[in-house]
Each structure stands twice: as structure tokens, then as C-alpha cells.
Structure 1
Amino acid sequence: MTRFTINGNPVAFDLPPETPLLWALRDAMNLTGTKFGCGAGLCGACTVHIDGQAQRSCQVNIGDIEGTFVTTIEGLSRDGSHPVQQAWIAEQVPQCGYCQPGMIMAAAAFLKDTPKPTEDDIKAGITNLCRCGTYPRIKKAILRAAGTPKEG
């Protein structure tokens, strides 16, 4: 039995410890906001927070996170009021939207560590992929959420 907390709720999984967190979230918890993208930890569609740090859930085994606190897009804010979510709406970031939950989770963790980023900080710090190429809007949304004016 593996025990940890998801979105503030204690959970116990009777799954093999090598089960990727992504599948525990989607299949066992029905938290489908966390998306399957590449399965190799490259794209970031499955990004969640583990103890406040952005992690690619397809690469994390549940047996390795006993006692941790996991936050998914569903737990970032119940009403969409997180500053990153509000900035995403204001900047009309999504195109297809598939990668956006992971992108938002990555941005929220990034801003916690880098509260006043530059455009170069964002370029270096956000490594999630967006097949639709919404990177300029993502950058603007992150700057908006940080309260940082767009650079020159």
C-alpha cells in the first residue's frame, strides 16, 4: 500500500510501486486534467507538483513518493483563481489546449521559485512543449502572473 496526499486528500494505492503516478492519477483517481503526452518525460503534458516542485508524473513511480503532497491541475485552485490560471485566460493562451494543464503547473512552480522572471528566465525555465506553438502567449501570461511588464 502506497500512501500520499493528492490535492489535500490522503490516498492509499494498492498498486504495484512501479506504477507511474500519471496512471494512478488518471486511472485510479479519475483526475484526467493531467495528460499523457510522450510517456518519456520530455513534453511536460503530465506535469504536477510533488511537495511544491514541478515533476513529470509519467516518470515518477508511486512507490517513490510515499508521504508526499501531490497537486494536480484540479488542485491548483478549485475555482480557477490562481494567478497563472487568470493570466492564461487574460492572454488567451490555449489553442488546442491539450498541453495547457501541464504548462500551467510548470509555470506556477516556476513562478514560486522565480517570482519576477525575465523573458530569458522563462525561456530557460519552462521546458514543456506545445505543439501549437503558443509560446509567445505563454511567455506573456507568465509575465502577467508575475506582475512583470513585457520587456522591450
Structure 2
Amino acid sequence: MPNISQNQPQSPKTKNRSVRGLIVTMWIVFCAAFAGLFLFLYLVYNGVVGYMPPVEELKNPTDRFASVLYSADGKEIGRYFVGTGNRVYADFDEVSQHVIDALISTEDVRFEEHSGIDMRGLGRVLFKTVLMGNKNAGGGSTLTQQLAK
């Protein structure tokens, strides 16, 4: 004899309870996620999670370190600075194209091939570090990621 109760649709009251329970659960998850995000931002703002510099310092950073030039054997050749700030800021159009090309070739060879995250580089680091246990596998970060950091 076939089981008839399996083919019968749910009653409207049972259906409304399950929908209402789903909606309540979704609201609880949403509110918990919002509260967690708020708590995280609050902790970052107060320096508990990590240091967050003031907005004024981010807009106008002060660099008070001289540029140090080292020889190939690691000896300091000299320190270079101008004025009291020890740095000279230059606009992008004042920087030589050779300097830009050298930076890209040494730090991020595929700079113009990716959108900021080099998946091939991350895959290489993952493979060498995690699977092969090579601690000196090199970085997987791009110039974009270094700037964001």
C-alpha cells in the first residue's frame, strides 16, 4: 500500500512557519554579520587589532629618513637628504622612465599582464612554500599589493 502522506503538500500553517523561521534566521545572520563588521572596525579604529594612522597623516605622510647608499659588500657609502625633511618629493612626470622600468622589472615582471593580483606568482609561492616546504620561495605580491599594504 503506497504511503499517501509523502505525496500530500504541506499545510499552509506549516509552510508559513518554515518561511517565517527562514526569514528570522536570515535576519539574525544579517544582524550578526553587521555587528561583527562594526566591532571589527571599532577595534581597528581604537588600535586594538592594528595600528590605523590618523587621516591627516595618511594625506600628508612625513618621511624623516635619509636615503642610504650601500656598496656591493654591504658597507655604507653615504646618506643623502635635502633640507630638514631628508626627502625630496617628485611628481610622476619628473621620475625617469628608466627608474620606472627598473622597478617594474625587479619587483613585478608581469605588471602590465594582471589586474593587481598575479595568480601565477601566488600559485608559485603556494606550491613552493606549502607543498615543497621551501621557506625562501620569494614573494607573491605585486606592486599593487605592496602599495596597498
TM > 0.5: no
TM-score (norm 1): 0.21
Q: Considering fraction of residues, name the structure with more strand.
A: 1
TM-score (norm 2): 0.21
Q: Considering fraction of residues, name the structure with more helix.
A: 2
Q: Tell which has more relative contact order, 1 or 2 (C-alpha 8 A, sep 6+).
A: 1
Bigger Rg over Cα: 2
